[in-house]
Amino acid sequence: MSAEAADPGAPLRRRSRPRIDLRRLGRVALRGPVSRDRLPDAISHVAEAHRAHHPDADLTILRRAYVLAESSHRGQMRKSGEPYITHPLAVTLILAELGAETTTLTASLLHDTVEDTEVTLDQVREKFGDEVCYLVDGVTKLEKVDYGAAAEPETFRKMLVATGNDVRVMSIKLADRLHNMRTLGVMRPEKQARIAKVTRDVLIPLAERLGVQALKTELEDLVFAILHPEEYEETRALIAAAKSPDAPLETIADNVTHTLRDAGISAEVLIRPRHFVSVHRVRRKRGELRGTDFGRLLVLVGEDADCYAVLGELHTCFTPVISEFKDFIAAPKFNLYQSLHTAVVGPEGAVAEVLIRTHRMHKVAEAGVVALGNPYAQDPAAPPQTQPSDERADPTRPGWLSRLLDWQESATDPDTFWTTLRDDLAQDREITVFRTDGGTLGLPAGASCVDAAYAQYGDGAHTAIGARVNGRLATLSTVLSDGDTVQLLLAQDTASGPSPDWLDHARTPAARIAITGWFTDHPDGAKPDPETVGATSPGARSEPSSEREASGAAAPARSRSGPRPTGVVVDDPNAQVRLAGCCTPVPPDELTGFVVRGGAVTVHRRECPAVTAMQEIGRAPVGAHWAVGEGRESDAGCRVTLVAESFGRPRLLADLTEAIATADAAIVSATVEPPSEQRVRHTYTLRLPDAAGLPGLMRAMRDVAGVYDVSRAQHPAPTG
């Protein structure tokens, strides 16, 4: 079956402004030699499309690029039987119709020369300059002879890195894949399916993120036709059956046109048909399709203020569906998209979705980054740069692309990179959270404080122990929402490491790769010994290993700094001493210790369940006691873990936090278990300036309304 998809909306298109059409290129007729002062006939249609967007463009370089491409590809044929030069011409026309500037079109004509002919990058650089050479190199595939099965993922890695410096690399790749998908019908079915799946998983999400909707929608339809042929045909039949001269959208469009004309608003009202996949999605969402579900109204105006004027008239003269209103002008999407979305009720109860945008917004909505032209063009009014930068600063480089570039450096294995890339691109929405220092973090929807920590601090996030979200204490597992303010709390102990639980809450590849890498480098930290059991009871949504490190009970492999003062003396004067996080001893608790891996001694309260567990497996105790004259752990104070049992009520966490602060204690970490039968369990690891203040602190916490018990942490000892 050919992957060529028919335009589902042609009967619904109205008035004089056509939607960008990418389907009109057929076989290109190659011509013989031409004089040097005129363009070859074969690219006259490219020149026409280019001049429509750039009337003053110099076409000389396009002529030279075409001559080199045609001569180097001469004799090569596509599987369809066409001369190979038809492919770079088709790709270039796609980009020209989207409004790409001359440099992009030049590179597009040459994009396969280095890969498939004897032309070298040095020759491209010599004839066309560094920019064109960079773009051609960016889309050139790596050889299977050199990379084997890793050639495809490593090629995409190479393109992503190149896109990080110049988004035009991915623009050419997307247009290249679109033309290949249009002509995929000549391939074997299994190869069609393989290419379609990669297009679905990688190229379509990239087109969405770059805002190139004109490419994305057609790619979706072509993939839909190959991977779901039966549903595709059903959708085609539904669209064909909906064709009618008296379609309800036509009536509503006429009413909107008259309404805006009477209000003195200059606007163009069009019917924008839905593509196949969009119709299919609406059908799955609503079941039975309405007559207005096959398209949406598009209102184009001149200025931003006119968009809101149109919105006001529509909501005044028609019944609006308020739940459908979205303002992507005041808050643009992460892929540059701007528009007002609303829905109004027309005659006989027909509901029509309406998009309101300026002509410029419409161009960007269709062509995305392609419509922005050359992002590196110098502003004539700007002062000249005295020192060239080694890295090109791309003003169109969005946060999601920066994240991809960051984590791909850690994904050295091609399979890990390929799998992680698909997973990351499957996150189809982005949120922005604010840092307390005024900066912002771009994260995928569903990201947690774990992701924010690694996005802000990189490997430094290994020491994270908690967060404040919108000013309130929160666990690292807390899912962030768009617009949240987040402050990450880090332990002072730089030898701390992450908890295995963090992998359950990490959504970004950067966080997952960093956490996994830490455990690979610290295998002893993955399974703590009984004396380092976590400070959180079973079932709690918490960061137990963070509390261990905060309490001074990090696994031996995590410490590289040597013994640190604890105010505890053990029988082995040369041993490193750690206070166990499972019971957090403070003076005057009676103590006992055990030697753990690396020769360190972990000290427990004598009644700690871990002591019994260690003795049962044959570990010999080590004598330990508080240093004579030491009324406190050290100048840094002491740490203790307290568990507060309470009934659930509003502001309980805030009141507990205030009580702790009033007692001059600092919160190192805090976890809250999900409520059970209206009861809530809070676990706090606290730093006190003096152990003598512990009884008063516990009394202050018990005095908080709703709290019925506060106790020192006691955790079941592990068996075996």
Cross-strand partners of 344: 320, 352
Is the N-terminal amide bond of 588 cis, ω within 30° of 0? yes
Distance CA 546, CA 655 (A): 24
Distance CA 36, CA 60 (A): 9
Nearest CA-CA partner of 54 in 96, 92, 25: 96
- Residue 116 catalytic? yes
Write the CA distances from 264 to 139, 257, 277, integer angstroms.
49, 11, 37
Distance CA 221, CA 182 (A): 10
Distance CA 443, CA 2 (A): 39
Which pair of tokens denotes residue 593? 């210790």
Q: 324 near 311, Cβ under 8 Å?
A: no
Distance CA 219, CA 181 (A): 7
Which pair of tokens denotes residue 420? 């992680």
Residue of 21, 41, 48, 115 marked catalytic: 115
Write the CA distances from 704 to 305, 389, 592, 655, integer angstroms.
53, 59, 34, 7
Residue-wise burial string across 455-475, b where 16 or more C-beta atoms lie within 10 A, e elsewhere: bbeeeebbbbbbbebeeebbb
Q: 451 near 443, Cβ under 8 Å?
A: yes
Give me the DSSP letters along 401-430: HHHHHHHHTT--SHHHHHHHHHHHHT---E
Please name the residues in contact with 695: beta carbons below 8 A apart, sequence gap of 6 or more: none
Q: Listing from the earlier edge strand, what are the strands of the sheet with 621-622?
A: 577-579, 601-605, 591-595, 621-622
Give me the residue label for tokens 């601090």.
457
In the DSSP assignment, the letter for residue 203 is I
Distance CA 283, CA 224 (A): 15
Write the CA distances from 159 to 27, 119, 171, integer angstroms.
29, 20, 11
- Residue 190 catalytic? no
Distance CA 20, CA 362 (A): 11
Residue of 4, 7, 82, 116 marked catalytic: 116
Helix and strand counts by DSSP (H, E) for the chain: 27, 21
Please name the residues in contact with 30: beta carbons below 8 A apart, sequence gap of 6 or more: 42, 70, 83, 85
Which pair of tokens denotes residue 708? 């019925």
* Residue type at position 19: R
Q: 12 near 278, Cβ under 8 Å?
A: no
Nearest CA-CA partner of 347 in 239, 246, 240: 246
Please name the residues in contact with 562: beta carbons below 8 A apart, sequence gap of 6 or more: 576
Q: Which residues are catalytic?
A: 115-116
